[in-house]
Amino acid sequence: MDKDYKNNFIILYLVSALTLFLMLFAIFSLGFFENNNILIKQRNLKSVKSLYDDNNSNSEGVGGAYTPDTISAPLSHLDYYVKIGDSIHSIAGKFGIDEVTIIKYNNIAIPSKIVLGTKVMIPNQDGIVENVTKNNTLEKISDKYGVEKEEILRVNNCDASSDVKTVFIPGIHHDNISKQLLLGEYFRRPCYGRFTSYFGYRKDPWTKLRSYHSGVDIANSAGSYIYAAAPGKVIFVGSYWPLGNAIKIQHTSGYVSYYGHLSKFLVKNGTWVEAGRIIGLMGSTGRSTGSHLHFEVRRYGAIINPMRVTVF
C-alpha cells in the first residue's frame, strides 16, 4: 500500500508540475506573440511611412506640410500612372488618401474621366492646395485655416522673401455635399440614351455655325423617362425659348439643374423631389431637331459643364 501510495503521489506531482509548466508557457507565448504582433505592426507602419519619406529614393519632395495635431512633416508624393479599371476612388483606396486631396493636388477637372496612362501624384497626407494671389494672400490663408503665416512658410520650406505661388494645407476635409460635387458625383444620370452634343462650342445643328452650347444633349425615343438629377425643389415648370417645355430644380450650394425639350411634365412647381424621381417625358419641343433632353447645370447663375458634377 505504501509503495502504491508513493507511486500515485509521484504521478500526481508530475501531472501538477506539467500542468503548471504548460500554463506558464501559454501565458509567456501569448505575451510574446502579442508584443511581437505590436512590433510587426509598428514595423509595417514604418515601412508604409518610408514610402513617403523625403529621403526615400522612390519619392519626390515637394515642399512641406502642416498638421495641427502632430509634428509637421515634409510633404512628398509618389507618381502613379492610371491603369485599366482605375478610378479616383480605387486609387485613393490603394494609398489611403482622400479622393478630394488627390483631385486638388493634381488639379483634376473631371474626376470621373481620368485617362489611362495619366500620371497622378499621390501626396503622403490629406489636405488641399491653396493658390496664393493678390486676393488670396498668405495672411488670408492663415486666417482662413487658423495656421500662423510663419508656420505655413516653414513647413513649405519657404521664407518671407520667397515668391510663393501655392501652399499645401494638410488635414483639411470637405463636407459630404462639397466632396460629392468635387468628385463629380453629386448629380446622377437625368435620363438614358446617347450623347449627341456636349458642353462648349460646337457646330449649331440649325445654322451650321460655330456656337456655344450651355449643356449636354442626350437622345432617346420620345416619351423616355426624365429623372431629377439630385434632390431639390422644383422652381419652374413651363415653356420658354429655346428649351420649349422645361423644368428647373434648385439644389444645395447654389446649384440649379435644367431639363429641356420635354413632351410632358410629371411634376408641379414648388414640389420637393428626390434624386431619381421621374419628373417628365422626353420630347422635341422648342428649338430642337429631334427627341432628346437638354441637360444644363448652373451655380449661382453661372453655367458650368454638367460632365464635371454628374455621374452618367
Over residues 104-154, the pLDDT tens digits come to 899 887 787 789 999 999 998 888 889 999 999 999 998 988 878 887 787
pLDDT tops 90 at residue 80: yes
Q: 307 and 191, same structural domain?
A: yes
Better pLDDT: 13 or 165:
165
Better pLDDT: 44 or 246:
246
In this prediction, residue 206 has a pLDDT band, given cuts at 50, 70 and 90, of confident
Q: 194 and 144, same structural domain?
A: no
Q: 161 and 97, same structural domain?
A: yes
Q: What's the pLDDT score for residue 4? A: 58
pLDDT tops 70 at residue 280: yes
Q: What's the pLDDT score for residue 108? A: 86
Q: Which domain holds residue 130?
A: 60-182
* Count of domains forming the chain: 2
Average pLDDT over residues 218-230: 97
- DSSP 3-state of 191: coil
Q: 221 and 194, same structural domain?
A: yes
Q: What is the pTM of this model?
A: 0.54
Q: 302 and 193, same structural domain?
A: yes
The bridge status of strand 244-250 relative to strand 255-260 is antiparallel
Q: What's the pLDDT score for residue 172? A: 73
CA–CA distance, 19 with 25 (Å, rounded to integer): 10
DSSP-derived letter for residue 161 is T
Cell digits for 307? 460632365
What is the residue-averaged pLDDT of the chain?
A: 80
Q: 219 and 134, same structural domain?
A: no
Q: Tell me, what amino acid is at 196?
A: T
Q: What's the pLDDT score for residue 9? A: 60
Q: 77 and 170, same structural domain?
A: yes
Residues in the chain: 312
Stated as kind and residue range, the H or E segment containing 177 is helix 176-182
pLDDT tops 50 at residue 81: yes
Q: 304 and 224, same structural domain?
A: yes
Instruction: Give me the DSSP letters along 193-259.
Output: SEEEE-SEEEE-TTT-SEEEE-SEEEE--TT-EEE-SSSEEEEEEEEETTTEEEEEEE-GGGEEEEE
Task: Let me know if residue 20 belongs to a domain.
Answer: no
CB atoms within 10 A of CB 140: 14
- Of 167, 182, 197, the domain-final residue: 182
Task: Name the percent of the chain lying above pLDDT 90.
Answer: 46
Task: Let me know if residue 225 belongs to a domain.
Answer: yes
Which region among 109-123, 163-177, 198-212, 284-298 has the lowest average model confidence (pLDDT)?
A: 163-177
pLDDT tops 80 at residue 260: yes
Better pLDDT: 196 or 1:
196
Q: 219 and 175, same structural domain?
A: no
In this prediction, residue 15 has a pLDDT band, given cuts at 50, 70 and 90, of low
pLDDT tops 80 at residue 241: yes
In this prediction, residue 64 has a pLDDT band, given cuts at 50, 70 and 90, of very low
- Of 158, 182, 206, the domain-final residue: 182
Q: 198 and 122, same structural domain?
A: no
pLDDT tops 60 at residue 63: no
CATH number, position 77? 3.10.350.10
CA–CA distance, 138 with 146 (Å, rounded to integer): 11
- DSSP 3-state of 34: helix
Which region among 34-43, 62-71, 106-115 has the lowest average model confidence (pLDDT)?
A: 34-43
In this prediction, residue 65 has a pLDDT band, given cuts at 50, 70 and 90, of very low
Task: Name the percent of the chain lying above pLDDT 70.
Answer: 75
CB atoms within 10 A of CB 236: 15
